[in-house]
Amino acid sequence: MHMEANHEEKRNAALKRALLILSCVLLSIGACGGPLIMRLYFIHGGKRVWLSSWLETGGWPIIFIPIALAYYHRRTTEGPSTKLFFMKLPLFIASAVIGLLTGIDDYLYAYGVARLPVSTASLITAAHLAFTALFAFLLVKQKFTSYSINCIFLLTIGAAVLGLNTSADRPKGESDKQYIAGFMMTLSAAALYGFVLPLVELTYKKAKQTITYALVLEVQLVMCLFATIFCTVGMLINNDFKVIPREARNFELGESKYYVVLVFSAIVWQGFFLGAIGIIFCASSLLSGIVIAVLLPVTEILAVIFYHEKFQAEKGVALALSLWGFVSYFYGERKYSKQKESEMKNEKEKEVEIGKKDTPETAEVSQLDP
């Protein structure tokens, strides 16, 4: 029985590692591709901020695919009595509230990307790591090691270095008022998302039901649904649905490519959110924030390649600092996990020794002793 339990623990740990890697891949695709596709829309004639914010979560029906696959797997192993959905009302309400906050964050970020180059928007977004660390400490009592503190410090310094020469990236013909508005909106989006990540982790911890990855997918589905509803109301008020056909005809890359950009934007952003909540489930909101921060300089390099934005020396330094911070964090986590495994092994050995001392034979010997 003991060996079977150990085998099950190792299997679960391996599955969780695989899920963490998959989540990191999805987050990488979303964090790098999302801003680039969104900026592509604005560069070539797109002007609808509410539409762009809607696309960040509008791909939520995609989540039905993994939910259906998970249900089919459970049905084959557990029989027809298995449930399709596990979410209870309190968790549904919490997910809906977080979804509305995500909708607000979508609009703030889309407004910023509409006014700022990808490199500058990425720079400001890097500030979300500091907010994530702060709220993770306040909401979920996140413990910091010297390695995680070093990582946060290096990534923050990297963001500051990027800020040394942002004036050269200011779009032509944009007023100071528009630039400042875009800057403040992007900073607000960074702060709000820094709050949302630990809030999701807190929701997992406070939920009065077992949190499985199938349930995490349901949480993501509800969050994206309510974020999309929020943005849909904004689109209706702003008459975006009426303008879309005309904007498509006037799009510089062509009408068909306009719709391709919108569809791919929705798919790629869904990868971002699925990756972020997957990392929170497998590890923590802080790690999710760190992965996003590490990917920001990568996004900048891609912006240089695809949109011919200038690659100053500051961007190279920021990239090196980000990679250093990322390696520092994972080295620390690996060291901590090894230490934890060693402590658990020692505890089990002690339990075995205590069990041997308490056997009937030992007890009889002790009774015969004068």
CB atoms < 10 A from the CB of 199, how many? 19
Q: How far is CA 151 from the centre of its chain?
A: 17
Report the distance separating Cα 215 and Cα 226, nearest Å.
Answer: 17
Does pTM surpass 0.85? no
Q: Which of 147-161, 170-184, 240-254 has the highest mean pLDDT?
A: 240-254
User: Which of helix, strand or coil describes residue 142?
Assistant: coil
- The answer to whether 95 touches 223, Cβ cutoff 8 Å, is yes
pLDDT of res. 257: 94
Range 77-102 average pLDDT: 88
Report the distance separating Cα 333 and Cα 147, nearest Å.
Answer: 8
| Higher pLDDT among residues 154 and 29, named by residue | 29
Report the distance separating Cα 311 and Cα 127, nearest Å.
Answer: 20
pLDDT level of residue 167 (50, 70, 90 thresholds): low
Range 319-333 average pLDDT: 76
- Tens digit of pLDDT for each residue in 347-366? 767 766 676 665 555 445 44
pLDDT of res. 322: 73
Positive or negative, the CA dihedral 174, 178, 184, 185 is: negative
pLDDT level of residue 258 (50, 70, 90 thresholds): very high
Provide the residue count of the chain.
370
Question: Given a cut of 90, is residue 280 above it in pLDDT?
Answer: no
pLDDT of res. 288: 82
Long-range contacts of 203-208 (CB under 8 A, 24+ apart): 203/91, 203/94, 203/95, 203/98, 204/280, 204/281, 205/140, 206/94, 207/88, 207/90, 207/91, 207/94, 208/88, 208/90
- The answer to whether 58 touches 263, Cβ cutoff 8 Å, is no
- Tens digit of pLDDT for each residue in 287-310? 887 788 778 778 878 887 887 766
pLDDT of res. 92: 93
- Tens digit of pLDDT for each residue in 193-227? 889 988 988 998 888 788 888 888 999 999 999 99
